[in-house]
Chains A and B, each alone.
Chain A
Amino acid sequence: MKPILSIDHLKKIYHTKRGEILAVDDFSYDLQKEQFVSIVGPSGCGKSTILSILCNLDQKSDGEISYDKNIRIGYMLQQDSLFEWLTILDNCLLGLKIEHGLNEESKQYVISLLEKYGLKEFIHSYPSNLSGGMRQRVALVRTLATKPDILLLDEPFSALDYQSRLAVSDDVFRIIKNEKKSAIMVTHDISEAISCSDTVIVLSSRPCKIKSIYPIELTDKKTPIENRKCKEFAKYYDKIWKDLDFHV
């Protein structure tokens, strides 16, 4: 099957006054349609850089990124970055306004998303009235509003406490599967990566290179919370933990 996105020998060098830093070296991966891929790696290794380059926030230094020109990419950040002065609905319409795609139809679509994902009664509330988990869900709807084909999730849950984190990752997973999106998630949480994804890519420390790729095959695969109970879970956890080679 033709991949929806292919990254070929991606390289990124950061230039600073003190010198240059090789952040990403020779990263190649083909993302399939409706695939959920997680990238884990030591903190500061350059995981997020890959996502930034994919959505044009950063320039690549070398390599090829190719995807069909009809493919749209949505980006979801660690912070929900909701605008406090806009209602939940207006926050979610932001992307459409920016690309001048706001019309009655697209607005109805966003409202239907909000309703579908349990935010109906908050449509006209302000972000300050919402819990952290709900805010993150709003951020996801905001990302979905422009109908992207690929979602880039940059540590989307790390600003939340553990309980909400589990709940929200379940929510987000469900929403992404429901809407049949492909996703690349960057995280430093091994169990989150295993429980959500079809494939986990483990990166080495800076400059980040692909260390190993694990297709996650769980018997009885369900939602992220349920997946944590699968018997293969511990095995993958152990392998990835060893790969990360973490020393205190």
Chain B
Amino acid sequence: MYSKEHQTYLKNIKRTNYLVLFFQLFIILFFIILWQFAADHELINTFISSSPKMVVKTLVSLHQANNLYQHIGITIWETFLSFSLGTLLGVIIATILWYKPFLSRVCDPYLTILNSLPKVALGPIIIIWAGAGMKSIIFMALLISVIITIINVYQGFMDTDPGKIRLLKSMKATKSQIYFHLILPNSFGTIISALKINVSMSLIGVIMGEFLVSKSGIGYLIMYGSQVFNLNLVITGVFILCIVAALMYYSVLYLEKFLLKNKK
């Protein structure tokens, strides 16, 4: 049994946690109610700003039309593909750059330029090269996620404690032994945080790609909605996207926890 002071201390922590949760819920509920209220009393034009009820209606009709899940599924699948490919390729390329410092110096300005270039500008070229389909979308998302992965992971590799490298060298380790015994496990944290960045980057890429080319997916729903001036559809699309993004982010977070637990 804890002392009285400690019990109050624990109680306080709990109370703060509840308070935070309360305000988090309060904000979203307040926003939705205000929005609906403004729509009901014609304070806003529902044609251009929709309303919570209309969003629900659109969701239901999408559900009945039976292609809601197909759209969501396609977006998730595309994101998953570009996310895994981007991470894998990024780590592989970062590894090559670490193995060959000369190559890394040569590539440095190109990586910097590619990183700062808004990849959407390459959209038209990608469509022409890869065709107006899923390939283009994945290519676009991959382009966005892979560059940032290379840069982050390479940086992680280079930040390895030189003392540890010296230690392995004094044991006469080869370069690949240094990589597998030290560099890779040491950069585990960096790679995990690259995953977190990557999942959002891939989603951005996928939605951008869907804006440009696709015939399905959440990005397509939003784009289609805006073209036919159906703002209900646009806002519903954004709403679904919020949920999908959150789900994917939290799955990576969960994956991180899982991997870290297995690590130790």
Contact = CB atoms under 8 A, between A and B. Distances in A.
A57 B164 CA distance: 13
B264 A57 contact: no
Contacts of A75: 167, 170
A56 B172 contact: yes
Interface stretch (B73-81, B180-188, B194-202): B180-188
Counting contact residues on chain B (CB < 8 A from A), the size range is 10 to 19
B259 to A, nearest CB: 12
A42 to B, nearest CB: 22
A99 B177 CA distance: 10
Contacts of B186: 83, 85
Given A57-B169, A98-B173, A99-B171, A83 B163 contact: no
A126 B171 contact: no
Interface in B142-201: 161, 163-164, 166-173, 177, 181-182, 185-186, 188
B171 to A, nearest CB: 5
Given A85-B188, A126-B264, A98 B182 contact: no
From B166, B171, B186, B188, residue with most partner A Cβ within 10 Å: B171
Contacts of B164: 81, 83
Contacts of B161: 79, 81
A156 B251 CA distance: 45
Nearest to B177: A98
Contacts of A222: none
Interface residues of A, number: 18
Contact of B166 (A57, A95, A146): A57
B261 interface: no
Interface string A64-85: 0000000000110111010101
A157 to B, nearest CB: 15
A161 to B, nearest CB: 19
Contacts of B105: none
B170 to A, nearest CB: 4
B100 interface: no
Contacts of A95: 171
Nearest to B167: A81
Contacts of B177: 98
A94 B167 CA distance: 10
B166 A98 contact: no
A56 B163 CA distance: 15
Contacts of B188: 85
The dominant DSSP class at the B interface is helix
Contacts of B171: 94-95, 98-99, 146
A97 interface: yes
B261 to A, nearest CB: 13
A55 interface: yes
A43 B226 CA distance: 71
B263 interface: yes
A146 B167 CA distance: 13
B170 A85 contact: no
B172 A83 contact: no
B172 A98 contact: yes
Contacts of A85: 185-186, 188, 263-264
B163 A98 contact: no
B169 A83 contact: no
A95 B169 CA distance: 10
Interface in A79-112: 79, 81, 83, 85, 94-95, 97-99
B172 A77 contact: no
A185 to B, nearest CB: 15
A98 B181 contact: yes
Contacts of A98: 168, 171-173, 177, 181
Nearest to B189: A85
Interface string B241-263: 00000000000000000000001
Contacts of A97: 181
A126 B263 CA distance: 11
A81 B185 CA distance: 14
Nearest to A100: B177
Given A85-B263, A85-B264, 13 more contacts: A81-B161, A81-B163, A81-B166, A83-B182, A85-B186, A94-B168, A94-B171, A94-B181, A95-B171, A98-B168, A98-B173, A98-B181, A146-B171
Interface of B: 161, 163-164, 166-173, 177, 181-182, 185-186, 188, 263-264
14 contacts: A56-B172, A57-B170, A74-B170, A75-B167, A75-B170, A81-B161, A81-B167, A83-B181, A83-B186, A94-B168, A95-B171, A98-B168, A98-B172, A99-B172
